[in-house]
């Protein structure tokens, strides 16, 4: 179904990838050309539309784009990842704006009327006052009320508590993610680049960390640093979950170390640190980013599980996991105490997982573009046609 119109700019861009392709002006002109070209073809109901758009995408990929641009473009096209990114941002903004920030002495107030440790009078039988059914549908109208997520038996406002728990969980994810990524990258790349005894020692250290049980260390942290709060827990988690990233980075560095550009840098007299950080790691950035994202999604489950077992975040502070454990027995009488923290854990973990999936697809060089079934069918139907036209073989259509 590829129309001659679709072939036109494609050829043009093929030529364009020549010596001039580095010129930013050229790229701009070309992409405008594409934009103008794609609009009429994208009319609904036109079977050739997706084929043509797909051609345009393919041609864009052979344009002189940097790896970063290609990855960004692929990531932006991943619907699940983009939706998840928006959801995650909304959740972060909601949790931090609602009850304000209170970290390391720095304090702001949020727009929500209760704080997580305030004890207002129970109302509405402590049930949630949130209502989403408008009046014309027989509901009580869309409003938040005084306690949209309900209250617990004491009277704590559940919305404020869930927001506080979310802040704690998000903070732990972030600190753990950053700490483990830095540790894993440095240890993995040093082990891979230096090799020899250093490599053996670092890898045995990795083995060591893997077999020391996480729950034991969490218990020790809970015992020794009971006042340090969740930062200590986050740092301990970060100090333990870097192992898989270190192994991945080491493997990547082992392969990159033998490449010519590293040799060239070495001959030019670059120091080991410079070679690792300027030449090798930028080439391994895909592995690192994807692994960091997946570590973060695993961390929220680990953190909530530890808090559930009473080894993570402690009362009077709350995390999503400790909320669930605290209200587990109230499931039959006040189910909302149990539902809200769980739903937010799932939302956060799910969106980070989808973002990680999108990043993995974006960085995967084998992943060209994921075609829909329809586009694939059109493509495969379009392909044999010239053969049938050219050759006298009769049963090609069968």
Partner 1 sequence: MLTFLARRTLASIAVLFVASYLVYILSALSGNPLADLESSHAINKAQLIQQRVQLLHLDIPPFLRYFLWLGGLLAGVIGKLDLGHSPNGQSVTSELSTAMGSTLTLVTGATIVAIVVGLTIGITTALRQYTTYDYTATFVSFLFFSLPIFWIAVMLKQFAAIGFNNFLADPVIGPVTIVVTALVSGIVWMGIIGGDLRRRILVFVIAGAAAGVVLAYISLTGWLKNPSLGPVAFVVLSLGAAYLITVLSTGWANKKSRNTALSVVGIGLVLYFPLQALFNQYAIINFFTVALIVILIAAIGGATGYFWGGVDRGQSVRTGALTGFVMALFLLLDRFLKSWDVYFNQVAQGRPVATIGSGTPDLTADYWITGLDSFTHLLLPTMALILASIAGYSRYSRASLLDVMNQDYIRTARAKGLTERTVIMRHAFRNALIPVTTVIALDFGALIGGAVVTESVFGWTGMGALFQGAINIVDVNTIMGVFLITAVAAVVFNALADLIYTGLDPRIRVSA
Does the protein bind partner 1 through residue 309 (CB under 8 A)?
A: yes
Tokens of 145: 């009320």
Applying CB under 8 A, the span of 103-111, 114-122, 265-273, 342-350 interacting with partner 1 comes to 342-350
The full length of the chain comes to 398
Q: Is 304 in the site for partner 1 (CB under 8 A)?
A: yes
C-alpha to C-alpha distance for 296 and 303, rounded to whole angstroms: 10
Three-state SS across 35-84? HHHHHHHCCCCCCHHHHHHHHHHHHHHHCCCCHHHHHHHHHHHCHHHHHH
Give the separation between CA 317 and CA 65, rounded to whole angstroms: 49
Contact flag: residue 316 with partner 1 (CB under 8 A): no
Instruction: Tell me which stretch binds partner 1 (CB under 8 A): 51-59, 116-124, 188-196, 220-228.
Output: 220-228
Q: Binding segment for partner 1 among 100-108, 143-151, 242-250, 328-336 (CB under 8 A)?
A: 328-336
> Which residue number, 211 or 390, has a Cβ lying nearer to partner 1?
211
308 vs 363 by CB, closer to partner 1: 308
CA-to-CA distance for 147 and 313, rounded, in angstroms?
24
The one segment of 87-95, 112-120, 175-183, 365-373 that binds partner 1 by CB under 8 A = 365-373
- The alpha carbon of residue 213 and the mean position of all alpha carbons in its chain are separated, in whole angstroms, by 27
Nearer to partner 1, 132 or 208 (CB): 208
Euclidean distance between CA atoms 376 and 174, whole angstroms: 40
Binding mask 257-296 for partner 1 (x = CB under 8 A): ----------------------------------------
362 binds partner 1 (CB under 8 A): no
Which residues are CB-neighbours of 369 under 8 A, at least 6 positions away? 54, 57, 58, 61, 74, 77
- DSSP assignments along 354-370, one per residue: HHHHHHHHHH-TT----
Contact pattern for partner 1 over residues 187 through 216, marking x by CB under 8 A: -----------------x--xx-xxxx-xx
Residue bearing tokens 């679709």: 6
280 or 318: CB nearest partner 1:
318
Which listed residue (13, 151, 295, 353) binds partner 1 by CB under 8 A?
A: 353
Among 27, 63, 152, 357, binds partner 1 (CB under 8 A): 357
Crossing angle for the helix pair 214-224 and 285-308, nearest 10 degrees?
Answer: 60
Contacts of 345 (CB under 8 A, 6+ apart): 169, 300, 301, 304, 320, 321, 324
Does residue 116 belong to the site contacting partner 1 (CB under 8 A)? no
Question: What beta strand segments (E) does the chain contain?
Answer: 102-103, 106-107
Residue with smaller CB distance to partner 1, 160 or 349: 349
Determine if 242 is a binding residue for partner 1 (CB under 8 A).
no
Residue 364 binding partner 1, by CB under 8 A: no
Q: Which residues bind partner 1 (CB under 8 A)?
A: 204, 207-208, 210-213, 215-217, 219-220, 223-224, 297, 301, 304-305, 308-309, 321, 324-325, 328, 331-332, 338, 342, 345-346, 349-350, 353-354, 357, 370-373, 376
């Amino acid at each position: 179904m590829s129309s001659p119109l679709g072939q036109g700019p494609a050829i043009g861009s093929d030529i364009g990838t020549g010596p001039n392709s580095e010129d930013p002006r050229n790229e701009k002109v070309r992409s405008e050309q594409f934009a103008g070209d794609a609009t009429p073809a994208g009319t609904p109901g036109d079977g050739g539309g997706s084929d043509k758009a797909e051609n345009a995408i393919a041609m864009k990929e052979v344009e002189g784009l940097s790896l970063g641009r290609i990855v960004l473009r692929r990531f932006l096209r991943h619907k699940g990842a983009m939706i998840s990114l928006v959801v995650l941002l909304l959740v972060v903004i909601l949790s931090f704006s609602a009850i304000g920030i209170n970290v390391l002495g720095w304090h702001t107030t949020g727009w929500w009327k209760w704080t997580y440790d305030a004890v207002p009078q129970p109302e509405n039988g402590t049930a949630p006052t949130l209502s989403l059914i408008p009046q014309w549908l027989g509901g009580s109208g869309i409003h938040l009320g005084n306690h949209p997520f309900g209250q617990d038996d004491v009277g704590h406002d559940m919305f404020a508590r869930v927001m506080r728990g979310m802040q704690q969980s998000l903070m732990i994810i972030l600190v753990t993610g950053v700490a483990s990524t830095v540790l894993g990258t440095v240890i993995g790349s040093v082990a891979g680049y230096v090799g020899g005894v250093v490599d053996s020692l670092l890898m045995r250290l990795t083995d060591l960390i893997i077999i020391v049980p996480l729950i034991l260390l969490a218990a020790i942290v809970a015992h020794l640093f009971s006042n340090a709060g969740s930062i200590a827990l986050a740092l301990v988690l970060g100090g333990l979950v870097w192992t898989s990233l270190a192994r991945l980075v080491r493997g990547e560095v082992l392969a990159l170390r033998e490449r010519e550009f590293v040799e060239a840098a070495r001959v030019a007299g670059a120091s080991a640190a410079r070679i690792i950080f300027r030449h090798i790691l930028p080439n391994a950035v895909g592995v690192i980013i994807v692994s960091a994202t997946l570590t973060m999604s695993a961390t929220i489950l680990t953190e909530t599980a530890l808090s559930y077992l009473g080894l993570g975040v402690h009362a009077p502070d709350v995390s999503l996991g400790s909320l669930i454990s605290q209200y587990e027995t109230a499931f039959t009488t006040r189910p909302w105490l149990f539902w809200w923290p769980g739903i937010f854990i799932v939302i956060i973990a799910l969106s980070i997982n989808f973002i990680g999936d999108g990043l993995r697809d974006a960085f995967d060089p084998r992943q060209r573009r994921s075609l829909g079934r329809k586009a694939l069918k059109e493509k495969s139907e379009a392909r044999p046609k010239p053969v049938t036209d050219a050759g006298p073989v009769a049963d090609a259509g069968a």
